[in-house]
Structure 1
Amino acid sequence: MCHLFAHQPQRDYESQTRSLRIGGHCTSIRLEMAFWDTLEEIAAKESMSLGKFLTTLYNEVLDHHGEVNNFASLLRCSCLIYRSRSVAPVREFKAVVAPILDAAE
């Protein structure tokens, strides 16, 4: 199973800090490149710049919960939800998991 995860490009898990302005305040967010790529993809699907998308998401969370405790974690979870709903299962993963599940039964 490690081959599936260990062979991913190193760029995907290198982190990058980006500065942005939300609600008139400057802030910075540090995320792994795979998350930045996903956020850029979501923003493009919404016909927004990344900055506009992040500001919109921040404001929606603020309206819904009254505060935003950990925006970076919210962004990571949002990316996971987006990917889980938009990407088909990876065949290699099924091939690796199936024998393990059969052996456990």
Structure 2
Amino acid sequence: MCQIFAGQKPERYESETRRLRLNGQSTSIRLERAFWRILDRIAEREGLTTPAFISKLHSEVLELHGEAPNFTSLLRCACTIHLGELEQDDTARYAAE
């Protein structure tokens, strides 16, 4: 079992920093490449660029909670929610067959 996790290529979990604007402020976000790939897919599905998607998400978090503590962790959790939705879709599809 550990080979599935330990055997992954280091490039997958290597950190990547991207610069973008959140609410007009220039900032940088550092995430593992695997998370960036997921965020890129989510943004594409939403018809947005990745920076536009992240900025929109940040604005919505501020609107709901007044602040965005540990926003990078929120992004990672958003990725796991997205993956869970994909898993549910796959499960429903197989159940229908």
Other structure's SS at 1:48 match: coil
1:46 aligns with 2:42: no
Higher relative contact order (CA 8 A, sep 6+): 1
- Structure 2 segments unaligned to the other structure (5+ residues): 92-97
CA deviation after TM superposition for structure 1 residue 86, in Å: 0.6
Map of 1:4 onto structure 2: 4
1:30 corresponding residue in structure 2: 30
Identity %: 48
Q: Please name the residue that 1:15 is paired with.
A: 15
Quick check: which has more Rg, 1 or 2?
A: 1
Deviates more, 1:36-45 or 1:1-10: 1-10
Long gaps (5+) in structure 1 = 90-105
User: How many positions carry a matched residue from both structures?
Assistant: 89
Post-superposition offset of 1:3: 1.1
Mapped partners of 1:81, 1:69: distance in 2: 18
State the shift of 1:11 in Å.
1.4
Query: What secondary structure sits across from 2:27 in the alignment?
Result: strand
- 1:75 paired with 2:75, answer yes
CA shift for structure 1 position 9:
2.0
TM-score under structure 2 normalisation?
0.86
TM-score when scaled to structure 1? 0.80
Which residue of 1 is the match for residue 85 of structure 2?
85
Q: Give deviations 1:4-63, integer Å, cap 9, x for gaps.
A: 111112211000111111111111110000000000000000000011100100001000
Instruction: Give 4+ residue runs of structure 1 displaced > 6 Å after superposition.
Output: none
**Corresponding residue number in structure 2 for 1:59:** 59
Q: Distance in 2 between matches of 1:86 and 1:10?
A: 25
